[in-house]
Amino acid sequence: MASEDNPFPMVLSLVNVGTDEERYLRSVLALLKTYLEPSWCIAARLGDLPDAVLVDMDSKEGLQVWENVDFGGTPRIAFSRDQVLAAEWTLRKPIRPGGPHSLTEVLTAVAGKLQLSAPAPSLPSSAWRPFADLVRKALKQPNPADVRLATGSALLVDPTGKVFYSSRTTDELVALLRNRRRIDGKVVTVPDARKFAERLARWGIAPRQLEELRWLTGLVSGAGESLGAWDPREPVRLSRWPNFAALPNRQFHLKMAAMLTADAATAAALAEACEVAPGDAADFLNACAEIGILEARAAPAAASVARKIR
């Protein structure tokens, strides 16, 4: 199973595999998650670089791919009703979890070969960062930036167009942003975001408002504590109403927004007045700070002078 030192499953890419077989394959892999070491998943997202490729050899298209496509040394698994002599591994149809030419036998053999030929796995280092930190770094870049994990690209930020691209759902992004474990990732500048966007469009990945990513980053990565943009002891307010039509929200977010657009309040007072947990109020303030609508109430001049004297 995945661990702190090896957090990602191995990735299997499918070529010309039918929908029903793919669905069944996913279900079997899910059942075998605790038995396969390492675990495997099906490539389904932007940037999921495959550790192995499964090619359906019982179709003309699959045969053409097998004979003509160069996968750059990535192990190929033949998927067929009969054993394929030209292949090192054959996963027989119908898919079986155990026995000769079964899912466990083939994937275990492939993983063993990959581990023998691969360099020593990298251990967590001081350069590793939580996913939310990588996203914040990308958001601060003046040019388009790609957030890349060990499995490939996670999302692309385009500050000029005020959009971002990711095939991950909102729930998947939330899970990544909430996880405070340090992971192996980096932020890479993208020379031409337009070409990247055109390619993503062909894959059905549409642009999403950058404000949504900022909002999510603040909302879930603080774990109920201030991320530093506001002081729990000082009252704050909102400069405008959040665009809740485009931002994931809960009912009490509207109540807190109504209170803070009318007047300033501390985080504790906000939580008490809106009858929410202090951590929920803190998360909301972090989200508002990330999208630039949180501001401290201007202190009276006399009070400011008094603080300087003290």
Tell the CATH topology of 10-117: Rossmann fold (3.40.50)
Residue ranges per domain, the chain?
A: 10-117, 131-212, 222-296
Burial class (CB in 10 A: 0-12, 13-18, 19+), 289: buried
Report CA Rg, the chain. Answer: 25
Each residue of 116-138: pLDDT tens digit? 655 544 555 556 788 889 999 99
**Structure tokens that stand for 10 in this block:** 């191995």
Task: Tell me: cis bond preceding 94? Omega within 30 of 0 counts.
Answer: yes
Pair 244, 252: CB distance under 8 Å: no
Per-residue pLDDT of the chain (310 residues; tens, 9 = 90+): 333 344 457 888 888 888 888 889 888 888 887 777 788 888 754 445 678 999 999 988 888 888 888 777 789 999 999 988 888 999 999 988 888 899 989 998 998 887 765 554 455 555 678 888 999 999 998 888 888 877 677 888 998 889 998 877 888 888 888 877 787 788 888 877 777 777 777 777 888 999 999 999 999 888 888 988 899 999 999 999 999 999 988 899 999 999 999 999 999 999 999 999 899 999 999 999 999 999 985 434 333 333 343 4
Report the candidate in 225, 226, 229, 233 with the shortest Cα–Cα distance to residue 307: 233
The model's pTM: 0.58
Each residue of 63-81: pLDDT tens digit? 888 888 877 778 999 999 9
Report the candidate in 265, 254, 161 with the shortest Cα–Cα distance to residue 213: 161
**Structure tokens that stand for 208 in this block:** 């999403």
